Structure 1
Amino acid sequence: MENLTEGLTLETLPKAFSQLTNEISEIKRLLLEKSNEQPTETDCWLDLNELCHYHPDKPSKPTVYGWVNAGKIPVHKGGKKLRFLKSEINNFLKQGRKKTSVEIVNEADTSLKKKGGYNG
């Protein structure tokens, strides 16, 4: 795509707008096409047994039932069956990640700067 903002004038504005509209339409089409593709490996469904084997802690079935009952783990119910989407489980597992000392210090600095209490 050529850089249409260089030398943009009232005469070239309609052409730039038209090209931008066409590119946005193409991006929308590509996104829609991608969303209609088959699920990837990370988006496969796990049943209770598969989840117990996949989870790094290898929890027992009663433990997983406890998590489901407490609303701690993402789950989909189909009748009496519990189903887990692998990508949601991966995100759930990542939420337990502890921050490094550097990340904590950076967040504290940012927070203090926003409140005006630190000029470091």
Structure 2
Amino acid sequence: MKRYRFEDLPDIIGELLLKMNSIEKLLLENKVNNVVADDDLLTISEAAKLLKLSVATIYTKVCRNEIPANKQGKRLYFYRGELLNWIKSGRIKTITEIQLETETKFNSKNIYK
């Protein structure tokens, strides 16, 4: 590791600030790109590829209203963000989470605290 002198500190801090600003700019651009990506409109084949399901399975889930979809004429469209949220909503809780939730509900209803 390079040894720095006290006199070098202003230059080093300036370099660090420039690097932090460029990192912040990249993160903000990435955040904007992710928001746009969530609003991407997908066809049924693209949705099937994203979800790793067959097109027939997607049609079945749409008919049963199990999956968020948009129909325009005879075509089905899907928003990437809605599909990802649909996947997240099916998360199975761990035993620890269920126990903690039960204890919290029990303690909040317990009138003999």
Question: Following the alignment from structure 2 to structure 1, what is the Cα–Cα distance between the partners of residues 62 and 112?
Answer: 43
Q: Secondary structure at the match of 1:103?
A: helix
- Residues 105-116 of structure 1 aligned to structure 2 (within 5 Å): 105-116=99-110
2:95 paired residue number: 101
Paired AA for residue 111 in structure 1: K
1:52 paired residue number: 48
TM-score w.r.t. length of structure 1:
0.61
Q: Deviations over 1:32-80 (max 9, x none)?
A: xxxxx9961121011000011111xx21111111100000000001111
Question: Following the alignment from structure 1 to structure 2, what is the Cα–Cα distance between the partners of residues 83 and 118?
Answer: 54
2:74 paired residue number: 80
How many residues matched? 81
Q: Which has the higher contact order (CA 8 A, sep 6+)?
A: 2
Question: Following the alignment from structure 1 to structure 2, what is the Cα–Cα distance between the partners of residues 118 and 106?
Answer: 20
Query: Structure 1: which 5+ residue stretches go unaligned?
Result: 1-36
Aligned residues with identical type, % of pairs:
35
Extract structure 1 runs of 4+ deviating beyond 3 A: none
